[in-house]
Amino acid sequence: AFRDPLGAPTEPHASQLDPAESAGRRTLSSTPKCRFALPAFLHYDARGLQLFEQITHLDEYYLTEAEANLLDQGGAARALAMALPEGALVLELGCGSMRKTAILLRALEMAGRERGLTRPFQFYALDLDRGELARSLTALEQHPPRSKTETEGNWQHVTFHGLVGTYDAGLAWLARQKSVSHKLVLWLGSSLGNLTRADAAAMLTQIRACGNANNLSLVLGADGRNHPKTVARAYNDPHGVSRAFALNLLDHIGTHLPGVLPRDAFEFAPVYNEAMGRHEVYLRATRGLRVKSPAGEVDVTLARDELVHVEYSYKWAMGDLFELVSRSQWPNGARLDARRVGSLCQVPGC
C-alpha cells in the first residue's frame, strides 16, 4: 500500500460534493465524484490508534458505549463465557485498546472460576501497531477481575498474546491453529463497516474457513442504520478529534513517503450517504498539487477541491446483517438466536 499511495476507488462515484457545503453536517443521496482512494487501515499507526481511542470516549461517538452495554448489561459476555469450551482460543481482529473486550475477558475469568475449569482460555489480540498493542495488553493484564475476598486479583483462566498484522495475516494464522478445542473470533466495534458490503461478505467467508461447523464461533459488532444526524455527529465531532484522526492518515503516509501527500494541502470532508447507508470520509485538496511517489509509479495531478476517499463506515440494517451471515456459509447462520444477534446489533436510536 505504501508503494502505491493512490489507488482507484472501489465503487463508482456519481456527483460532485459541493465544497462550500462540506463544513456543515449534511447527507447526500449520491456519492461525490472522486478519482482516488486510500485504504482505511492506513489510519491506524500509533497516533491513529490513540486518536481513535479518544473518539470512543466522545459522547457523539455512540457506538462504543452501546456495544459495551450490550456485552455487559445485556449479559452477552457472561452467556458466552459460560458456554465456551475450556482451552478455547479467542482472537480479536483489530483489538484497539480492548476496553470492551475486557468485559468479555473478565467474564471468561469469572466463568473459569465458577466452572472450575483447568485449561485457560487463550486470548490473542491482533492489531497493526506493535507498541500500542503491547501497551494495551500490559494494561489489561494488570487489571484482572477481583472476587470479594481478594485484595489483588489474578488471571487464572485467561492467557494473553499479541499478534501484529493485518486481518489476512491474522486469519491465515488462525487457520493453522489445529489443536485447540474451539476458536472464537471477535470482530467488534463496527469494524466490518470499513468494508464494502461485498467485501464484508467475503471476510465472513474467510473467517468461516478458519474452522469447521463445530469448533468456530464469531461475535460480530455492527452499527445499525441510525438517524443521519446521529451518524454525522459521531463522525464529525465538535471537538475536532474525528478530523484529526482523518488527517493523521496523511502524517502516517508521510513517515514512509515524506512530502508526497502534505497534510497542509488537504482538509477533512466527511459526509453521511443515507441512500448507501454509509458514512464517507474524503480529504479535499485545498490547492492544486502533483502527487508523485519516489519510484514514479504514481504521478497524478489533483485539482483544487478534488477529493481523495479514505474511509467508509457502513451501517447495517438488521435484515441485511442476517442475510450477510447466512450467505457466508456459516452453518448455523439460519439458526442463529435472533434475540442474541439482535441485541448485539442494537444501538440507541436504531
Q: Bridge partners of 11?
A: none
Minimum distance, C-beta of residue 187 to ligand AVJ, in the bound complex (Å): 10
**Cell numbers describing residue 151:** 485484595
For position 191 contacting ligand AVJ by CB under 6 A, the verdict is yes
Residue 226 engages ligand AVJ in binding (rule: CB under 6 A): no
- Answer for which of 217, 226, 313, 328 binds ligand AVJ (CB under 6 A) is 313
Give me 112's grid cell. 473459569
Instruction: Mark the segment that binds ligand AVJ (CB under 6 A) among 170-178, 185-193, 259-267, 341-349.
Output: 185-193
CA distances to 29, 62, 132, 315 from 226, in Å: 16, 10, 31, 8
242 burial (CB, 10 Å; 0-12 / 13-18 / 19+) is buried
Binding residue for ligand AVJ, selected from 48, 112, 170, 193, defined by CB under 6 A: 193
Total Cβ atoms within 10 A of residue 121 = 26
- In the complex with ligand AVJ, the residue whose CB is nearer, 111 or 241, is 241
Q: Per rule CB under 6 A, is residue 55 in the interface with ligand AVJ?
A: yes
| Binding-residue pattern over the window 142 to 181 for ligand AVJ, x denoting contact by CB under 6 A | ----------------------------------------
248 contacts ligand AVJ (rule: CB under 6 A) = no
Of 169-177, 186-194, 195-203, 335-343: span binding ligand AVJ (CB under 6 A): 186-194
| 236 and 279 Cβ atoms separated by less than 8 Å | no
* Stretch near ligand AVJ under the rule CB under 6 A, chosen from 111-119, 190-198, 208-216, 333-341: 190-198
Quote the DSSP letter at residue 7.
B
Binding ligand AVJ (rule: CB under 6 A), the pick from 121, 235, 266, 330 is: 235
Residue type, 89: L
Which residue, 52 or 322, has its beta carbon nearer to ligand AVJ? 52
Would you give the DSSP letter of residue 65?
Answer: H
According to DSSP, the β-strands at 307-314 and 278-285 are antiparallel
Tell me which H or E stretch contains 37.
Answer: strand 36-37
Task: Please give the DSSP secondary-structure letter assigned to residue 273.
Answer: E
219 Cα distance to chain centroid: 13
User: Which of 64, 101, 194, 328 is in the footprint of ligand AVJ by CB under 6 A?
Assistant: 194
Q: Which residues bind ligand AVJ (CB under 6 A)?
A: 52, 55, 63, 189-191, 193-194, 235, 242, 245, 311, 313
